[in-house]
Homo-oligomer: A and B are copies of this chain.
Amino acid sequence: MSTPRPRRRSRTTATGAALLALAALLLDSAAALAAAKTAPPPRAQTTAEVLAASSPSDWRALDPERTLYLELPAGRVIIELAPVFAPHHVENVVALAREQYFDGLAIMRAQDNYVVQWGDPDGKKPLQKAQRTLPAEFERPLRGLTVTRLTDPDTYAPLVGFIGGFPVAADPLIGRAWLVHCYGMVGAGRDNDVDSGGGTELYVVIGQAPRHLDRNVTLLGRVVRGMELLSVMPRGSGALGFYEQPAERTPLRTLRVAADLPEAERTALEVLKTDTATFSAYVEARRNRHEEWFKVPAGRIDVCNVPLPARDAKVRQR
């Protein structure tokens, strides 16, 4: 896995690189000493090294009953659903997919640095067993949840971390937990009435985490693969990024539950389990980068700056 950084294409000389690596090591040592007062000393690994050293048991396959394939003209977007946080919305979106509600509908909104949204532009497509609206599932009891907690301070919530691959926040004082609006998170658009969502319109976060939406709208999943197909949608020129002309919309070919496709047509994906030592090492490797390019380790990480590693299961397991 490559480490992203705004680098030039050329390369330094070997001598320069060696000197810089030495300088980076010295900086890292100082940072490690400082960090040791409050946390275990960081393992000086890069994210690539952490993942390369992972074991098969650090990974889990996506549950095909809780995985959606959104088929766009440009390709497949894979969404993992979050029944732990939005059980009724997940059930309803699965029902919508099974009655082929989304097939032939469209991406009708793309607002820069915010969301891309799809649904029925005309609002006329009939439903069969699925519901048009549901009671809000903005948050749930913290009780019964085990959070892989981040020690880093968060601007918005008293506690942040991960559960089952999802970024979460919680307030232990009031005993509530909720999903966080990080890049790639999928939610159910709603009107002003809190119970006016339900999943017939879905949005995905395409910019800086709009954390002010947390606890204001039901999140129900996240994009595991294919964000680059959604994030490049031309931005709409209408209010809130809605397209003003129908021709500007991108049609949805289908939206299907993975389990409903023949196995040969499924994408065999694995994601890193977030309750493992490997995930904690991955977070630490992102908190303090040890790739040669980095000179000053951040020492901290935002809950929305930990993209969950995913890989092709068939390729890696050979």
Shortest CB-to-CB span from A189 to chain B, Å, is 4
Interface status of A203 (Cβ within 8 A of chain B): yes
Contact partner of A123 among B9, B209, B292, B298, CB < 8 A? B9
Q: Return the contact of A6 from the options B115, B194, B304 (Cβ within 8 A).
A: B115
- The reply on A192 being an interface residue by CB < 8 A is yes
**Max chain B C-beta neighbours (<10 A), residue from A9, A194, A201, A242:** A9
Shortest A40–chain B CB gap in Å is 19
Instruction: Count residues of chain A with CB under 8 A from any CB of chain B.
Output: 80
Q: Does A144 contact B (CB under 8 A)?
A: no
Q: How far is the CB of A190 from chain B (nearest CB, A)?
A: 6
A155 close to B301 (CB less than 8 A): yes
Tell me the complex Cα distance, A203–B292, Å. 20
Q: Given A112-B231, A201-B8, A233-B232, verify A17-B302 contact (CB < 8 Å).
A: no
Assess A190 versus B112: contact at CB under 8 Å? Given A212-B294, A234-B232. no
Residues A295 and B216 in contact in the complex (CB < 8 Å), given A6-B203, A155-B154: yes
The answer to whether A5 and B302 have CB atoms under 8 Å apart is: no
